[in-house]
């Protein structure tokens, strides 16, 4: 009863003075966020496309992150991955919960989006946001690692859209073809050494926010 009363009061106070739609959005973020993405790292490796060297690059991506449950009850989780079909995405590895799995591949006939999903979920028991990473028990997190490739133009960009609350993500480039430049979104919260290969974002992102990376041949 206390929880219900607290949530009802919060729904009236959070975002007070804002339009009701904005209040609803803030309330949902505050009260329905349970799974948090930490240690989020996206690494790019670009190479000239072996079959279309004048037009495209083959982008190799390694994405890793840790999912923790900062709610009050055990949550079930399974990772997924989706990309525009025109980029010919190929998922070469998906590992989560300590095991490698073969996901189901689905193509949306209307949009052309290619999605890779797994059916088996893992249980993540609650932990506190202040718990040290090294103190977490194995049932309190799920480590995820994906490796995939996409085919994109030589002068182009890639958008990383976060699917949930993501804390201090990192974008990195390991290599680009000779004569290419690579950069990523910058801002007051981004730490990046000029000429470096790593972009650390010292902030949190909510679902559907994003960062972008660009590459192009030098003039």
**DSSP assignments along 85-123, one per residue:** GGG--EEEEEEETTEE--PEEEE-TTT-EEEEE-S--EE
What is the structure's pLDDT at 5? 45
3-class secondary structure, 150: strand
Tokens (6 digits) for 44: 């790019």
3-class secondary structure, 149: strand
Please tell me the pTM assigned to this model: 0.88
| Tens-digit pLDDT profile for residues 50-81 | 999 999 999 999 999 999 999 999 999 999 99
| Tens-digit pLDDT profile for residues 125-178 | 999 999 988 899 999 999 999 999 999 999 999 999 999 999 999 999 999 999
Residue 157 bridge partners (DSSP): 214
Tokens (6 digits) for 161: 């859209």
Domains of the chain: residue spans and CATH: 1-32 (no CATH), 34-217 (2.60.40.3680)
Question: 121: buried, middle or exposed (CB in 10 Å: 19+, 13-18, 0-12)?
Answer: middle
């Amino acid at each position: 009863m206390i929880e219900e009363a607290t949530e009802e009061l919060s729904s009236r106070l959070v975002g007070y003075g804002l339009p009701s739609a904005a209040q609803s959005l803030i309330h949902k973020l505050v009260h329905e966020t349970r799974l948090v993405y930490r240690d989020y790292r996206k690494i790019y490796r670009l190479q000239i496309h072996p079959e279309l060297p004048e037009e495209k690059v083959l982008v190799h991506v390694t994405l890793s992150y840790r999912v923790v449950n900062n709610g009050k009850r055990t949550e079930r989780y399974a990772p997924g991955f989706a990309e525009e079909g025109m980029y010919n995405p190929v998922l070469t590895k998906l590992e989560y919960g300590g095991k490698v799995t073969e996901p189901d591949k689905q193509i949306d006939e209307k949009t052309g989006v290619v999605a890779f999903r797994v059916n088996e979920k893992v249980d993540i028991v609650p932990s506190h946001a202040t718990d040290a990473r090294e103190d977490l028990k194995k049932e309190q997190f799920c480590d995820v690692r994906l490796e995939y490739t996409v085919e994109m133009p030589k002068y182009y960009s890639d958008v990383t859209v976060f699917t949930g609350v993501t804390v201090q993500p990192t974008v990195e480039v390991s290599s680009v073809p000779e004569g290419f430049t690579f950069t990523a979104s910058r801002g007051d919260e981004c730490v990046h050494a000029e000429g470096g290969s790593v972009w650390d974002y010292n902030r949190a992102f909510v679902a559907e926010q994003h960062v972008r990376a660009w590459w192009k041949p030098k003039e």
